[in-house]
């Protein structure tokens, strides 16, 4: 049996958490480590990841340089009136694209910040699910509803419930499992009571909801600036841009995330090559 690509899904039922930025940096890291990478944009209406890659191609063409590129596809949501027909068409479209990427080592999938059938389907294919989460109790509501007086778990959120449902769907399809990573973005470097409470709550939730908590990317202007040129932190030296201390710190945050993806020998390659 031919090996299947390892699937990394960026998912969160909320916008503005850094899914597309994270997806682009993870893909570029994998490409620079020598892997063949495919990418799928499920969020075709917003299309942030697709625009990021288009900006990257434009930059490479304008400056006549080579930048590592994934084999990219975007999937438009079915417009059929019937839910049954729409879901069948979405499934067929997804499976067609996914089948075309079977020779890849990795497939990275970016999903929208709202609940659609295509997003649920994509989640059920994940080997690793990465959920970027801004470090606030507003964003934490995506994972769980808390009791205001004690910060204890009242009940899992709708998103947590359907991640659990997709874990079951994955197990039924091929007996596979989904490793769920919650990536805490925009971490403050200043010790604060709110940060301490977030840490305590997330530690408790990680046991209840079966996810791993990983430090993410701090709030830095550089990420927003890189989008327009289609570049990532890993490209700056190649295009002659000097690295600042902020760039160096952000690259270390990316290395840390890559080291937490459970793919054979990936951590050794990251250590040697990023």
- A 10 A CB-CB count for 188 gives 12
Residue among 272, 269, 232 nearest 251 (CA): 232
Contact, 99 vs 125, CB < 8 A?
Answer: no
**Domain limits, the chain:** 6-273
The CA distance from 40 to 207, in Å, is 30
- A 10 A CB-CB count for 183 gives 23
Please give the CATH architecture assigned to the domain spanning 6-273: 3-Layer(aba) Sandwich (3.40)
Task: Give the global pTM.
Answer: 0.93
Question: Distance between the two ends of the chain, CA-based, in angstroms?
Answer: 32
Scanning the chain, the segments in alpha helix (DSSP H) are 19-32, 48-62, 83-100, 117-123, 137-140, 158-174, 193-209, 221-229, 245-259, 266-273
Q: What is the pLDDT along the chain (274 residues), one digit of tens a residue?
A: 357 899 999 999 877 788 999 999 999 999 999 999 999 999 777 899 999 999 999 999 999 999 999 999 999 999 999 999 999 999 999 999 999 999 999 999 999 988 899 999 999 999 999 999 887 777 777 887 777 776 776 777 888 898 999 999 999 999 999 999 999 876 555 456 667 777 778 888 888 889 999 988 876 567 778 999 999 999 998 998 888 888 888 899 999 999 999 999 999 999 888 8
């Amino acid at each position: 049996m031919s090996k299947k690509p390892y699937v990394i899904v960026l998912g969160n039922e909320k916008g503005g958490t850094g899914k597309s930025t994270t997806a682009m940096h993870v893909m570029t890291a994998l490409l620079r480590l020598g892997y063949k990478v495919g990418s799928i944009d499920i969020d075709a209406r917003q299309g942030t990841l697709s625009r990021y890659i288009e900006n990257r191609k434009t930059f490479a063409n304008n400056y006549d340089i080579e930048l590592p590129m994934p084999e990219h596809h975007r999937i438009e949501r079915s417009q059929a009136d019937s839910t049954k027909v729409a879901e069948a068409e979405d499934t067929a479209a997804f499976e067609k694209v996914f089948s075309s990427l079977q020779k890849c080592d990795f497939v990275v999938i970016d999903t929208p910040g709202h609940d659609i059938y295509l997003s649920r389907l994509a989640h059920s294919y994940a080997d690793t699910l990465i959920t970027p989460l801004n470090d606030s109790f507003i964003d934490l509501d995506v994972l769980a509803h808390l009791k205001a007086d004690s910060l204890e778990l009242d009940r899992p959120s709708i998103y947590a419930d359907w991640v659990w449902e997709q874990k079951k769907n994955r197990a039924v399809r091929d007996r596979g499992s989904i490793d769920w990573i919650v990536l805490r973005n925009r971490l403050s470097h200043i010790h604060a009571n709110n940060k301490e409470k977030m840490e305590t709550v997330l530690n408790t939730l990680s046991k209840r909801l079966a996810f791993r908590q990983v430090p993410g990317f701090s709030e830095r202007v550089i990420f927003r600036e890189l989008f327009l040129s289609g570049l990532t932190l890993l490209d700056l030296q190649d295009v002659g841009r000097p690295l600042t201390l902020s760039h160096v710190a952000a690259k270390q945050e990316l290395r840390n995330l890559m080291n937490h993806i459970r793919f054979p020998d990936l951590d050794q390659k990251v250590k040697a090559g990023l």
